[in-house]
Structure formats: structure tokens, C-alpha cells
Amino acid sequence: MITDLGYIALVISLLVCVYAIATSLLGARRNDERLVQSGRNAAKLVFPLVLVACIGLWYALITFDFGVIYVADVSSKATPLFYRITALWGSQGGSILFWNLLMSAFIFVAMLRNWSEDKDLLPYVTAVACLIAGFFIFINLSSANPFLRFDFPPADGRGLNPLLRHPGMIIHPPMLYAGYTSFIIPFAFLIASLAVGRRDNLWLIKSRRWTLVGWAFLASGLLLGGRWAHDVLGWGGYWGWDPSENMPFVSWLFATAFLHSAMIQEKRGMFKNWNVLLMAFTFVSIFFGTSFIRSGLLTSVHAFAKSNLGPLFLGFMVLILGGTILLWFSRLDTLHSENKLDSWFSREGIFLLQNVLFVSTAITIFLGTIFPTITEAINGVKITVGPPFYNQVAGPQLIILVLLMGVAPLLAWRKASARALGKMSLIPAVISLIAFVLILVGSGQVIPSLLLVLCLYTFVQTCLEYIRGVRARVNSAGESIPVALLHLVQRNQRRYGGYLIHIGIVLIAVGAIGKGFYGTDVLRNVKLNDSFTVGSYTFTYRGIASVPCEFNDCQSVEAALLTTSSRDGSIIGGVYPHRDQFPAQQETSTIADITGSFNEEVYVILAGWENNGTTASFQVYINPLINWIWTGGIVLILGFLLAFWQMEPSTAIRTVPIARMVGSPSK
């Protein structure tokens, strides 16, 4: 009964979306505030209705209602309660329902805000948001219905996909979905602004925080997905340029370009047309990536099975893109820049160069990802583009972007001074040169040494931005260093939160360089009680044994290796990699065990065994600096929170005379 009620609520939510679209547009045409508000209230109602639908499916999952096809596909009597709850997004129909829940929640929050300053945008924001939400609800009811039932229910279900039974995968999809769905609001603001023909930056200002939220969720989703791949897939790393990784990364790159370019429009009134395109590219890339991943056209370890969703998604995407382009062309006269680029050697110039690199990197990764589909359509054969292509083509562009993060804050608006840039770059350059020599002597590899030093330059330069600001406040306001730092950040959270994000990205880049250039990958077959050495570690094989599995529907075999130092023979500890076999799903999970140190991870996989374990094969990865990726991710999210969450300025800040703040850096 509760499950059936959930289905009915989903049907009603689609009707409510249609009503919200119709009344909002009619209210805008007739200038009827009552109709506009009625559409707004209808848009609010979609969220509780979709929530009821989710509760209905959750009830079926929790109560083992295997009469529901979706429940039988993603759960079983052996599935723990926690994983039955998270199975809501464990397959196609439920994940789209969860997508609808998040999307309708964002629309609900947007509808609650005060619309007094941008009341003319409200009906169009409502209509666009409900059009997109209505499409996804229609998909849920037609091609991906999680409420369908068997004629003859099975006694038990198949259980959740073993690859999804990991904390990272439990959190990873919701983060990506939240990132994807939150962009519905800034996109709706864009379309609304074009529809009413506004010439100002209001849509940009009102949607900036929404864009920042979507960007942060996408970043978190990508990082959590990397952690899941690291722990579960047995890649020995965190990233394999898998299509399901690439598509959200493309959207993240477009969104990052937009956030940087939006600052130029707010500050100088420039790049208005470019920002329209960037937001459109961001939103359309989300649709395109979703259609490819959910249609099964991409070969990926965590793409969805083949379905008929691809044409529906692509058709709607063409409709959205075509409508946006037509509307944009009709409003070109309202999007003229208020200023021109005075000099390429300026902050605007560097931001524009960064934008070009963000977009070119996104296009490079996008083309590489869809290349197999293109070749199959042309000659019937899938030609896959591997990691070497991305590393050689996209990698250098990303490294240049890291360098530009350190240079951009030093340049003045309009036109910068080469002399001033050289003066402010002196200390970071000297530190970087010394570090380059030391790293090169230690490793003997020129390219990774150079890349690490470029990261160091940006890191030092970014830290100096904090130091310069604090020193200015200490000199002008007589504050202590901690108080000066707090007040400096409070005065411009957006700027210094952005700097913290830059530091996080630098740390991620350091981890990627360490793993990519200094990592070791060795496969060894060893007899019982024999040893083998990899790097500075010696492993002695002590045998395999069946051990209790974490889940009731699997069997686990674990190997034991004693790990010692190859230099002095001291005992480091034991590693216990294992393989879990799931008979019902006919799946095997290879789970690594990890030892080593923070700066040098040792990642060991049980690759196989023979003769009941008298011999076994082990894959050993030495991953230098990889943990800086996760550290950088934490710093990045802290930077987002600082830029997003407005702190209340203290009285001390408001009483500092403006004349005394001349020495502090300006945005």
C-alpha cells in the first residue's frame, strides 16, 4: 500500500510540474501576480510529492517486498539494512528517483527565497526548473519505473552489486547527483534573464552561490569516486580516465571556467556572451554525460546497463540547447560588454587564458571519451582511447592551469606591471629553484621535478597572498597576527576561500604527479613462506585462508604477508589483501590492503593462487604522495565553505578607517 502510494505521488508530481509551467508562463504573459505565485507554490509541492515516492520505494526495500522488480534486483534477505536503504540509488530506476528528489529539493529551496529584487525572473525560473524536473519524472514513470511488479514474485532477491558495497560508493553518487541537479537553478536564472531581456548581472549574482554549491558537490563526488576506485576496483590508484569519471569531470571543468569568468563580468562588465555559453555548456554537458552513462553506450566499470534512455535524453538535450541558442541570439543586443580588454597582461587577460585552457581541456577529455562511440558508428569497431592520450594531451593543460593560479592574483586589473610581477615572484621563484635542484638530485627525473616545482611556486605564491594581507592589517590596524588573519578573511571570504581552494588543487596535483611519475607497479608469484622485494619493502608470503565475509551472501579468501624493511630487516607489519566472491551475482571483488607511510603508500592485491595457496600472485603498487590527493580534497572543501558560508563581520572590522586599509590587497 505504501509503495503504491509512492507511485501515485510520483504521477501527481508530474501533473504538478505541468501546472507550474503553464501557470507561470501564463502569469508572466498576463502580468498576473496570482498566477505567478500559484506556479511558484506548485513548484514547491513537487519536492514533498517526490519524497513520498522515495519513501514508498524505501519501504519496499526495507520490508523485502521482492514483488517489486527493482527491490529484487538490488537487495536480498542477506543485505544489511543500511545497504537496503542506500540501494535506492543502486540501479537505474531508483537512482533517477533519487535524482528527482535532489532536483526537486533544490527547486523547493529556490522557491522559498525572497524574490523582491528579481520578481520579473520568477515565472521563467519556475517554468524552466519544472520543465527539466518534469522531464526526469516522466523518464521515471515511463522508461525507468522502479515501481513495476512481478506477476510471480521470487522468494529472494539478487542482492546489491558488490562494487557498490563501500562507503565511498554510497556517498559518491549522491554527491555527483547533487552537483548535477543543483545546476538547474543557475541555468534557470540564465534562461529567465534572457527571456526578460535584462542587461545587468542580476542573474549572475543571484545564481553564483548555487553554481558554487554545484561545483563543490561535483568536486566532492569526483574525489569520493576516486577513493572508491582506489579501495574497491584494485586499480592501485584513484583515477583511470574511465568514461564515468570523465563525464562529470568535463562538467566540473566548464563550471570552473564559468566561476572564474563570472568574476570578470561582475567586476568589469565583460564576457557576458561568453558566460552565457559557459553556463549552457555546463548544463548541456551534464545532460550529455547522463545520457551516455545511463544508456549503456559507454563501457565503464560503473556505467548503467544498456537501455532506451539515450534517445530520450539526447532529444531533450537538443531541445534545451537549441532553445537556449535561439534565445541567446535574440538577445545579443542586450549582452554587449561594458568594457574592453585593455591588455592581455592583466588579471582579465590571465582569466581569459585560464578559461580557454579549462574549455580546451574539457573538450579534449570529452572527445576522447566519446571517440569509441564515434568510431563504432562509422565503421562498426570501437577504438578506445586510453590513459596515455589523456595524460599527454590533457595533462599539460592542467599543469599550466595550476601555474596560472599562482600568477593571476599578482596581476592588476586593466593592465599589470611586469616589474611588480617580477618583484612579487622573486621569493617563490628562488624557493622553487632551490627545490628543483634538490628534487632533481634525489629523483634524477627532470619532468616530474619540474612539475612539482611549478606546484610549489603556486603554493608559495598563494600563501604569500595571505601573508601580505595579514601584514597590511598588522601595520594599519595594529592587530595581532591571528586576529588580522581572521579579519582579513572575513572582509573577503570569496577571495581567500578561493585561495584555499587553489591550495587544495595544488595538493591534489602533487599527489597525482607523485603517483604518476614515481609510482611502482610489480606483479610477483611466490611460494609459501618465500619472500620478494619491491622498493624498500620485503614481503614474505604466509599463506591464504577462508575468513568470515563482511556480508552474508559472499565468501572471502584472505592472504597474509609479513612486511619488513629491505634496508634493515625491521618489521613494518602485516598486510592482508582478500578476494570476496558473490555467487548470486557471479561477481568477485578484489580488496587491497594498505601499509607504508603517509608519503609512500604500499598497496597490495591478491591477484590469484594455485594448489590451495601453495603459490600465490600479488600485485604491489608503491604510490608516493597519493595521500596528498585526499588531503587536498579536504582543503578544497574547506575553501568552498569559507567562500560560501558568510561569517558575521566583527565590530573591529567595521571600525577600522578605510584610509588605514590602503596597504591591504584589493580584490
The mean pLDDT value for 418-432 works out to 86
Distance CA 406, CA 424 (A): 11
Percent of the chain at pLDDT > 90 equals 53
pLDDT bin (cut points 50, 70, 90) of residue 297 is low
pLDDT tens per residue, range 437-468: 998 888 888 999 999 999 999 999 999 999 99
pLDDT bin (cut points 50, 70, 90) of residue 327 is very high
The mean pLDDT value for 622-641 works out to 95
Residue 300 has a pLDDT of: 53
Residue 417 has a pLDDT of: 78
Residue ranges, comma separated, of all CATH 2.60.98 domains in the chain are: 519-627
The mean pLDDT value for 375-380 works out to 78
Residue 334 has a pLDDT of: 85
CA–CA distance from 664 to each of 112, 428, 463, 489, 657 (Å)?
A: 38, 20, 15, 12, 12
The mean pLDDT value for 40-48 works out to 97
**38-47, 75-84, 609-618, range with greatest mean pLDDT:** 38-47
Residue 559 has a pLDDT of: 94
Instruction: Name the architecture of domain 519-627.
Output: Sandwich (2.60)
Tell me the pTM: 0.89
Residue 161 has a pLDDT of: 79
The mean pLDDT value for 88-103 works out to 92
pLDDT tens per residue, range 138-160: 999 998 899 999 988 898 888 88
pLDDT tens per residue, range 232-254: 877 788 888 888 889 999 999 99
| Residue 538 predicted with pLDDT over 90 | yes
Distance CA 348, CA 629 (A): 30
**Nearest C-alpha neighbor of 549 from the set 596, 587, 601:** 587
| Residue 261 predicted with pLDDT over 70 | yes
| Residue 525 predicted with pLDDT over 90 | yes
The contacts of residue 71 (CB under 8 Å, 6+ apart) are 57, 60, 61, 64, 65, 157
- Would you call 257 exposed, middle or buried from its count of C-beta atoms within 10 A (0-12, 13-18, 19+)? buried
| Residue 306 predicted with pLDDT over 70 | no
| Residue 299 predicted with pLDDT over 70 | no
Residue 666 has a pLDDT of: 37
Average pLDDT of the chain to the nearest whole number: 87
Residue 248 has a pLDDT of: 92
Residue 296 has a pLDDT of: 58
Residue 343 · residue 268 · CB < 8 Å: no
Lowest mean pLDDT segment, chosen from 112-116, 418-422, 443-447: 418-422
Distance CA 660, CA 209 (A): 31
